Amino acid sequence: MSNELTILQHNGVVFNVEERFRLEMALQSLQNESKETDFEELLFWGRINGAEGNYYIAVGISYKGSYEFPKKTFFWCSEKNDFVFEKMPLINEHWRAEVNKRSAKPFKGTPSVVLKKGKKPDVIKEEKSKSDEPRDELDSTEEEDPDAMLEIPDLTELARLTWHVSAIDFDCSVVPQGTLKLTVAHEVERDEKFNGLNLEDVFNLENYSHFRVVQAKEKRELLDADEAIFSSKFLDDLAADNPKECWSILKVGSDTALIRNNIWRGFTAYAKASTTRNGCCYVGNGMRNTSLAFL
């Protein structure tokens, strides 16, 4: 990991010696303690900075048995849990509006802090019984919400972090075209024939794709028609993103491209020409740059 993080210094990102050491040990421990079926690859995803502490994120990727896109499992650690990676909680759709309201607020760095209290089933039941009043049989009745009796967990900072990591990964995760292929079984695999983009292509955004479930209609149609099998361009194109200014590409040395996302400032991808060296990482405050569209 140390060698790969060196390239990020060109983007003003620095990890000190102790930080790198503890991260490498934490990643190795996660790798050693995981089952073979948990993931096939384990990658360092990035760091989200908090006022009182930082969150470090890793992602495990499982290709086999996943239809049309591999499964991603995210893990987190911080100084507050002694750099021990734990699986991130699942997203709870109940808190979408609340998370959106807090989208411009910085993270504190305390995962257990409660931002909004949830509800227990008995409390929900009690509130429902209080609202039940005798009414005329001819009055229209509202359909009962089948989810009304489900427990709603507290919205913690860790739960909010999961939303932000998911949003950043969806918008930013990048691979050079040709890195991955789609098999006849509609499983994604790394293409063993890929030797990197050539010197001309590596500095062109049109040769990069989003590493996410396909969203573009025309790409989706190719998948459904089995016309994307073994194609190097079956994923969503980075160059198709809007606004056009959301991506910028820089030249580092003579053969390395540095790709920055200008909406999620702090996201950086890189690719070294004619080699398989490429990757991406996010280091920032976890907040979206909403002013880009008005620049």
pLDDT per residue as tens digits for the range 198-223: 999 999 999 999 999 999 999 999 99
Backbone angles phi, psi at 201, to 5 degrees: -75, -25
The pLDDT score that the predictor gives to residue 179 is 97
Query: Tens digits of per-residue pLDDT, 220-254?
Result: 999 999 999 988 899 999 999 999 899 999 999 99
* Long-range contacts at 241-245 (CB < 8 A, ≥ 24 apart): 243/292, 243/293, 245/292, 245/295
pLDDT category at 150 given cuts 50, 70, 90 is confident
Query: Tens digits of per-residue pLDDT, 63-118?
Result: 999 999 999 999 999 999 999 999 999 999 999 999 999 999 999 999 999 999 99
- Report the alpha-carbon distance of residue 155 to residue 116 in Å, rounded: 5
Q: Which of 10 and 207 is assigned the larger pLDDT? A: 207
Q: Which of 264 and 124 is assigned the larger pLDDT? A: 264
pLDDT surpassing 80 at residue 124: no
The pLDDT score that the predictor gives to residue 122 is 61
pLDDT surpassing 60 at residue 36: yes
The pLDDT score that the predictor gives to residue 199 is 97
All structural domains of the chain with their residue ranges: 2-92+158-294
The pLDDT score that the predictor gives to residue 295 is 41
The answer to whether 211 touches 176, Cβ cutoff 8 Å, is no
pLDDT surpassing 70 at residue 141: no
The pLDDT score that the predictor gives to residue 128 is 53
DSSP 243-266: SGGGEEEEEETTTEEEEEESSSTT
Q: What is the dihedral of CA 155, 19, 52, 167, to 10 degrees?
A: -40
pLDDT surpassing 50 at residue 11: yes
- What is the percentage of the chain residues whose pLDDT exceeds 90? 78
- Report the alpha-carbon distance of residue 3 to residue 288 in Å, rounded: 28
The pTM for the full model equals 0.89
- What is the percentage of the chain residues whose pLDDT exceeds 70? 87
The pLDDT score that the predictor gives to residue 216 is 97
The half-sphere exposure of 144 on its side-chain side, counting CA atoms within 13 A, is 10
Query: Tens digits of per-residue pLDDT, 154-183?
Result: 999 999 999 999 999 999 999 999 999 999
Indicate the average pLDDT of the chain: 90
